Structure 1
Amino acid sequence: MLQMKPVFRESQSTQYHREFYTTDEKVMQRCSRDTVRSVSDYIKISSIEHNIDSNDYLGNITYKAFGELKTLTVPRSTYLQRRRLLDLQNQGLDVTEENATLLVKYFKEEEECLVGAIRATHNTLGFSTHNGKLIFKHYNAIGIESTYSGPYDVRPRGSDKDYLKMIKEEVLGNPLMEFILVSGLSSVILAYLSDEYSLDSLIIHIASDSTTGKSTALKLAASLWSVTDVKADSLFSSYNGTNQALINKICGFSGIPYCLDEISMSSMQNFTSFIYTLVNGVEKERLTKDSKLMEKKSWLVTLLSNGERSLVGLASKNKCIAARVFEIKNVTFTRDAENAENIQRAIQKNYGLLGPKYAEYIMTLKKEDICKRFEEVRENFSALVKTTQATDELFERRTLKFAVLLLTAEYFEKFSRFTLNKDAITELLMSIEAESTGTRNNHANAMDYIKDYITINAAAFGLGGNGHNLNYGTVTPKRDYTEVVVYKPSFNEMLRKGNYEDSSIVLRELKSNGYLDCDADRYTRSRKNHNGIRQDVYVLKLYNYPIQEVITDSPTEGDEKHE
């Protein structure tokens, strides 16, 4: 005779045999077959997350706090330890000294019913490896089922159709905005090829007056990946923060851009450390309270920045600083106010769509093909620049990032089936390099600065009268140049005021270019001062210096402008 078995779902069976169960209002415990008792107000693990970045497990606890339903995400170690569970009392959980031990037991039983429903999450963005496989993490990860649980609002909203319509109507045909679009996507290629070419982070700074569309440009770049409201948890933020606070915002990024609006909001007086740290892509070493080295966080990003002042100009005068920043100066990005308004209106409703899909497209291509094309693009750009404008020893290193931008444009065309004005973008990159090469030319910049400094402080160099109480040196007209003798303390102070980081670098450049009259084995000469005492001084040769105009224009009773 067949034995009839009860028909029920597995979850019902599990529920029937469990020691604890929940009602709409309470957590209950079965004490015996016929006896139950109340343990606490309603508390339940609604889901369990496994963070693939930290390998930690977290529980989403749903509970009633004074009749109001709430959710709290806590580490597994919190709800499975009596002491830590009691710490949640201030959050409104009905946890007391009397029921805490029972609740720990209840949560362990809850876990066992959710083992098959654990969902993966991540709190960093961009490229990563998981179990030896390359993945890309945005709101939804590419290459693994995982959902973003970090601080930024990168959840896609709106429609691809409306976003692409905005690009077609408001961006295409404007090479500057096309360049911004490419810059916002360039972080993907930058991070994807970083191991093959030792690439570090890219900084693109827009230095331009207000009403030139520079904020709209940065918001366009951010909209590829996230919401664009600076008040929200956006990849578009402001410079209103300390050096370390700004760096912390990009920790863990690899292949995602970040945008910083309006450099004048920063309290930093000198951006040298900020630039070096950001490009190097790793935190400074720090100690824990136990004097152990903390794990260093890293990043690899394209940083887009703007302001009315030059980022390079706010750092020390150092050619390596200038080489690390791509600056665009004094240009207008949007065609007119209507163009800017149309872009802003579209990206307020549609964002976080195109960036991750572009990353997914790049991941479908063979990496060796991308590398081959990258090297071709780099070689072509290098040859073009060398045949049309001056370069220096830092140019070849910079061509790596120029190639990243140009290759991003090329693959964007294939991905979107839009046509960009790549010739105009190339010309823009060439002009960026020409400007940077001039800035990196330390001896020329230093000589211009020294001439201005002497003109402003003419009386302190014995020009325009002798009634001044400061004495920086002397100026003597020669046949082909003007000789300037500067006392060592005055020279060092002059360079410090000009933000020149290392006087020895400036002196070496001046000497090698014939602007420094010095002994063969040093940068100085021995000269008698006005008291007849010999001392080491710097002797500069200033060519094309209008000394007669300086004498004529200088006040006879001393100059008050010691800048």
Structure 2
Amino acid sequence: MSQSRKQNQNIRGKTFTVKRSENSGSPRDFPKLVKAPDSQQRGTKASSKQYPKKIESFSVKDNTLYSLEYDSRTKTDVEMKVGRVIYIKEIRQDVETQSVELELEYYYKNKYHRKIISRKQLLKNELVKLLEYGLDVPDYKVTKVQKFLNLQEEQAPYHYTHSQLGWSEIEGVEVFKHDQSIGNDNLISSYNGSFNIKEKGTYETWKQIIYNDVVPHTPLCLALTAGFASPVVAWIAKDLDLEVLLLHAYGDSTTGKTTAARVYVSPFGAPTTKEGGCLLKWSGTHNGIIAQLVGNQGVPLAIDEASMNKMKDFTEILYVLAEGMEKARMTKELQLVDRRKWSGVLWSTAEHQLTEKANHNTGIKVRLTEIESLKWTESAAHANRLKESLLENYGQAGPIFIRHIQALGKAAILKRWKEWQVRCVDAMPTKDQFSHRIGDKLALLMTSAELVNECFDFDMDVDSILDLLINIEQTNAGERSVGDIAYRYFQEQVMQHQSKFEMNGRNEKAYECWGRIALKNGKNEVTILPSVFKAIMAEGNFEDTNVILRHWREKGYLDHDTSKLTRRRTAISEVEDFESIEKQKEVRANFYCIEIPDGLIDVKENEKFPHLLNNHMPLQKKSFL
């Protein structure tokens, strides 16, 4: 067993003494910090306490604090009772904020209790406020108690802590903060936060579970790879200007999506949705979800069951999640608030696509990879076996992997990523303007799969993982062009609402007329007023119709005047009492003239457009063109 030793540490000009392990190479050899208790008191037996016996003029015995006072009558020092004992059990300093907190232990009602306070609460006016928790600090005692605590603080055990996770630079050294910080043997800090990332079970058992129940099944290999990719993505994101990698698995509730999420987080933390688990829930507010992610730079987290969220529009939160940064805000003094950040990979699950409840922006579809209805597990027994095993064994493999990639170095990782980027793009049978951007992301996953095989000797089939990713992306590629999606949506609306268009020279059934459908130059053409078209597209969550129309113009779907998106057409009154061509010009207007596929609707050649422009009303009200 390794011998511990004392090592002088220096933070911002102050020298402290902390303990560290001789053998820092193993994730289990680091000194473990007792998890910080919350602000509630916890009672323990008095006989088990090891409080300080004597400090200068103060002494402690029988759970009572005494002070040596000069007795003027006897001209000798006399031991006087101060009160029930209070002492500092431990000092913790956050390496990120440099803030110091103290764990007090105090005697009350025949038990010892603990209370976490900030160091500023050692001020007299703050210390007396702790009376409500049972500390013996009334006004007439607080001066002596404060003096004792100030003296005893110099002897109390001291530890570094961190409350954020993932990559960070501490004292000029890049480290990865997990249960213990990794990367600087001279400054080791312990996690003091809300996530349960402390290892449970054994590494050997976890590895056997993965080898038996994950490695033979390619979809689960992808989930495992994504979890290990999170620190890789976060580590090189700044060098490559990458966003957060968003993966969303959707499909029927029996396909094993949540089991895949458990596999994804298990190397780094508890694969559970219970408090402290790394499986978060979508059933929260926008700000509540974001608050759980801030400060995490590479530890994999999942958000389970978006189906439970009542959010009607996921557009905004998807952009924020992918950007890895809070929205800009200002204080009352008009100063910008620092935007909290996160990075890595984020896994999501639901029974539906997230893009179904979002605007049809291409940006969202490029940022979000949606994985449809994969059979993540082979059976219910397979899923249950993984769930039960992983809930008892997690958190060991992540630190081992971090040490592996640190030993390789960032330059070597970037070189592999570039090689995989070329391979991923070359493997795409159909390419578009987004292929290279998508290839960047796929290459991160494939680089990580290769690194996982090296680190753990798993022998995952990387070619099968690549084939799966290419199939997923080719499926999504057809949904990335907002112009193509909008064109299909427009056709559906025209078919659904045929009665609202004048067709074949008549419009007998319509009380609300949207336009005309006719054959023009041998092609089916829908002529529609811009205001009506924009209202129809807005109902389908298409925000910018000009982007859509320009795409259609490039595709040849739009009949238009030079350098415009519209065509001037004449609407002839049903009364047909125009006396001259000048009067007809008065009712000429701009229309969108959109070609639709042959056979969609049975239309005939018709040159007239018999509707009344002066009676036109907004969409969903009785109107005529």
The answer to whether TM tops 0.5 is yes
Structure 2 counterpart of 1:148: 191
Equivalent residue runs for 1:440-451 within 5 Å: 440-451=480-491
Identity rate, percent:
27
Cα pair 2:512 2:621 within 8 Å, conserved: no
Preserved contact between residue 63 and residue 85 of structure 2 (Cα < 8 Å): yes
Residue pair 1:258, 1:301 contacting (<8 A) in 2 also: no
Quick one: which amino acid aligns to residue 19 of structure 1?
S
CA–CA distance in 2 between the matches of 1:239 and 1:469? 44
How much has 1:372 moved relative to structure 2?
1.5
Return the letter of the residue paired with 1:223. S
Mark the runs of 5 or more structure 1 residues left unpaired by the alignment.
Answer: 1-11, 550-557
Matched residues in 1 for 2:135 and 2:90: separation? 17
1:315 to 1:49, Cα distance in 2 relative to 1, 3 A: same
Counterpart of 1:208 (choices 247, 251, 254) is: 251
Instruction: Give the Cα–Cα distance (whole angstroms) in 1 for the partners of residues 79 and 93 of structure 2.
Output: 33
Residue 541 (structure 1) aligned with residue 595 (structure 2): yes
User: Which residue number in structure 2 is paired with residue 139 of structure 1?
Assistant: 179
- How far the C-alpha of 1:163 sits from its partner, in A, is 0.8
Q: Distance in 1 between matches of 2:286 and 2:132?
A: 34
Secondary structure of the residue aligned to 1:286 is: coil
Amino acid at match of 2:552: L
Q: Aligned residue for 1:436? A: 476
Q: Secondary structure at the residue paired with 1:35?
A: strand
Question: Quick one: distance in 1 between partners of 2:123 and 2:336?
Answer: 28
1:72-99 per-position Cα deviation (integer Å, ceiling 9, x unaligned): 2221112x22222233333332332333
The one-letter amino acid paired with 1:544 is D
CA contact (8 A) 1:456 1:559 kept: no
CA distance in 2, matches of 1:211, 1:324: 27
Distance 1:473 1:18, change over 3 A: farther
State the match for 2:43 in structure 1.
Answer: none
Provide Cα deviations, 1:200-248, integer angstroms capped at 9, x if missing partner. 2100001111100001110111212111221221110110111121111
User: Of 294, 309, 326, which residue of structure 1 is paired with 2:369?
Assistant: 326
Tell me what 1:519 maps to: 561
Secondary structure of residue in 1 paired with 2:246: strand
Q: 1:352 to 1:547 in 2, by over 3 A?
A: same
Equivalent residues of 2:501, 2:510 under 8 A apart: no
The Cα offsets for residues 22-52 of structure 1, whole Å up to 9 and x where unpaired, read as 3343333222353233333332110000110
| Paired residues of 2:55 and 2:152 also in contact (CA < 8 A) | no
Aligned pair 1:394/2:419, yes or no? Answer: no
3-state SS of paired residue (1:275): helix
Q: 1:347 aligns with which of 387, 390, 408?
A: 390
> Greater helix share, 1 or 2?
1
Structure 1 partner of 2:68: 30
* Aligned partners of 2:53 and 2:61 also within 8 Å: no
Residue identity opposite 1:384 in structure 2: A
Which of 140, 146, 159 pairs up with 1:104?
Answer: 146
How many angstroms does 1:559 deviate by? 13
Q: In structure 2, what is the Cα distance between the partners aligned to 1:280 and 1:41?
A: 53
Q: Structure 2 residue aligned with 1:455, among 495, 499, 510? A: 495
Residue of structure 2 aligned with 1:282, choices 317, 325, 333: 325
Distance 1:30 1:473 in 2: 99
Question: Does residue 1:314 correspond to 2:343, yes or no?
Answer: no
Instruction: Name whichever of 302-311 and 39-48 sits farther off.
Output: 39-48
* 1:7 corresponds to: none
**How many angstroms does 1:103 deviate by?**
2.7
Taking only aligned residues, the RMSD between alpha carbons, in angstroms, comes to 2.3
**TM-score, normalising length: structure 1:** 0.90
Task: Encode CA deviations 1:466-514: one digit per residue, 9 max, x unaligned.
Answer: 3333222222234543211222222111111111122221111111111
| 3-state SS of 1:60 partner | strand
Deviation at 1:333, TM superposition (A): 0.5
Which one of 298, 311, 319 corresponds to residue 268 of structure 1?
311
Partners of 2:423 and 2:335 lie apart in 1 by 49
Q: Pairwise mapping of residues 380-529 of structure 1 onto structure 2 (< 5 A)?
A: 380-385=423-428, 389-462=429-502, 466-478=508-520, 480-529=522-571
Q: Distance between the aligned counterparts of 2:279 and 2:487, measured in 1?
A: 39
Structure 1 residue 358 displacement after superposition: 0.9
Q: Does 1:376 align with 2:430?
A: no
**Corresponding letter in the other structure for 1:467:** K
Aligned partners of 2:230 and 2:562: how far apart in 1? 48
Q: Return 127-136 or 16-25, whichever deviates more.
A: 16-25
Question: What residue identity is the alignment partner of 1:30?
Answer: L
Query: What secondary structure is seen at the aligned counterpart in 1 of 2:602?
Result: helix
1:109 CA displacement: 1.2
TM-score (norm 2): 0.81
Q: Is the 8 A contact 2:366 2:480 kept in 1?
A: yes
Deviation, 1:289, is 5.1
Match of 2:167 among 127, 130, 154: 127
- Alignment match, 1:46: 89
For the Cα contact (< 8 Å) 2:234–2:298, is it kept in 1? Answer: yes
Which secondary structure state, in structure 1, belongs to the residue aligned with residue 88 of structure 2?
A: strand
In the other structure, the counterpart of 2:102 is 59
* CA deviation string 1:5-36 (max 9, x = no partner): xxxxxxx9x96452333334333322235323
Secondary structure class of the residue paired with 2:98: coil
The alpha-carbon deviation at position 133 of structure 1 amounts to: 0.7
Please give the secondary structure, in 1, of the residue aligned with 2:438: helix
- d(CA) in 1 for partners of 2:325, 2:105: 38
- Alignment match of 2:228 (pick from 185, 202, 224): 185
1:19 matched residue in structure 2:
57
User: CA 1:268 to 1:41, structure 2 compared with 1: closer, same or farther past 3 Å?
Assistant: same
In the TM superposition, structure 1's runs of 4+ consecutive aligned residues that sit over 6 Å from their partners are none
Following superposition, the deviation at residue 290 of structure 1 comes to 4.9
**C-alpha contact (below 8 Å) 2:569/2:589 kept by paired residues:** yes
Structure 1 letter corresponding to 2:59: Y
Whole-angstrom distance in 2 between the partners of 1:110 and 1:16: 9
- Deviation, 1:284, is 1.7
The answer to whether the 8 Å contact 1:457/1:559 transfers is no
Q: CA deviation at 1:176?
A: 0.3
Q: 2: distance between equivalents of 1:152 and 1:400? A: 30
Query: Residues 22 and 474 from structure 1, CA distance in 2 versus in 1: closer, same or farther, beyond 3 angstroms?
Result: farther
Q: How many Å separate the matches in 2 of 1:290 and 1:36?
A: 56
Distance across 1 between alignment mates of 2:264 and 2:62 = 47
3-state SS of paired residue (1:98): helix
Query: For 1:112-123, what aligned pairs fall within 5 Å after superposition?
Result: 112-114=154-156, 117-123=157-163
Give, in whole Å, the separation in 2 of the partners of 1:459 and 1:145. Answer: 73
Alpha-carbon separation, structure 1, partners of 2:62 and 2:228: 49
Q: Distance in 1 between matches of 2:458 and 2:276?
A: 30
Secondary structure of the residue aligned to 2:325 is coil
Number of equivalent positions: 535
The change in CA–CA distance for 1:559 and 1:522 in structure 2 (over 3 A counts) is closer
Seen in structure 2, the aligned counterparts of structure 1 residues 310 and 177 have a Cα distance that, compared at 3 Å, is same
Q: Write the letter of the residue equivalent to 1:34.
A: D
3-state SS of 1:296 partner: coil
What are the superposed Cα offsets for residues 132-182 of structure 1, whole Å, 9 maximum, x if unpaired? 111111011112411100111110000111111111111111110000000
